[in-house]
């Protein structure tokens, strides 16, 4: 039993990059009368570092608006370094679905704390379905390649 390797081990998770802009501060704080509208963009970027050793970057880009003005722009790259001992056919799904699912609550907490500490209204991001995000990205990739082929033929 001591020689058995864990299938998935998160070696570390960390804030790789964090940026918060409040372009209209301090005047905008007097204008915030209701919960701002929030636009959230999510991206997952796995990378292989060595045999069985990978990183997964979870990129969260949030833009908050109130009364037609940008309230804030927050960009977070939250990352995990992981060791995976899984069959090759499961690797892509684990890197794009399972690892982001495991680290997202921590990234979400960083976003919430950062916004609250900067004097903005508390915002709680909803749970995400990383399987659906992955499938949508996978399905849009062939369409993007196909449109690229069409545009190349015109040139």
Q: What is the model's pTM? A: 0.84
> 24: closest CA among 61, 87, 64, 71?
71
E-strand spans in the chain?
Answer: 8-21, 37-50, 53-66, 69-84
* pLDDT exceeds cutoff 50 at 41: yes
Q: What integer pLDDT is reported at residue 37 of this predicted model?
A: 93
Can you count the helices (H) and strands (E) in the chain? 4, 4
Q: Count Cβ neighbours within 10 Å for each residue of 77-114 and write b for 16 or more, e otherwise.
A: bbbbebbbeeeeeeeeebbbbbbbbbbbeebbeebeeb
pLDDT confidence bin for 151, thresholds 50/70/90 = very low
Specify the higher pLDDT residue, 42 or 140: 42
* pLDDT exceeds cutoff 90 at 154: no
Averaged pLDDT for residues 33-45 = 92
C-alpha to C-alpha distance for 97 and 108, rounded to whole angstroms: 16
Q: Are 28 and 118 in contact (CB under 8 A)?
A: no
Cα dihedral sign for 80, 81, 86, 91?
positive
∠ CA 40-60-14, nearest 5°, is: 155
Q: What integer pLDDT is reported at residue 1 of this predicted model?
A: 43
Q: Where do the structural domains in the chain lie, given as residue ranges?
A: 8-154
CATH topology of domain 8-154: Bacterial Protein-export protein SecB (3.10.420)
Q: What integer pLDDT is reported at residue 117 of this predicted model?
A: 95
> Strands 37-50 and 8-21: what pairing?
unpaired
Q: What integer pLDDT is reported at residue 121 of this predicted model?
A: 82
């Amino acid at each position: 039993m001591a020689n058995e390797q864990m299938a998935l081990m998160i070696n570390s998770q960390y804030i790789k990059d964090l940026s918060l802009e409040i372009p209209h501060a301090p005047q905008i704080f007097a204008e915030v009368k209701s919960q701002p509208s929030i636009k959230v963009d999510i991206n997952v970027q796995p990378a292989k570092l060595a045999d069985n050793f990978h990183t997964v970057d979870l990129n969260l880009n949030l833009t908050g608006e109130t009364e037609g003005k940008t309230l804030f722009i927050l960009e977070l790259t939250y990352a995990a370094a992981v060791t995976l001992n899984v069959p090759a056919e499961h690797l892509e799904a684990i890197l794009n679905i399972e690892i982001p699912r495991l680290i997202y609550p921590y990234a979400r907490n960083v976003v919430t704390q950062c916004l609250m500490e900067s004097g903005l209204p508390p915002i709680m991001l909803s749970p995400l379905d990383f399987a659906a995000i992955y499938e949508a990205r996978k399905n849009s990739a062939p369409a993007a390649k196909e449109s690229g082929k069409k545009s190349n033929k015109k040139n």
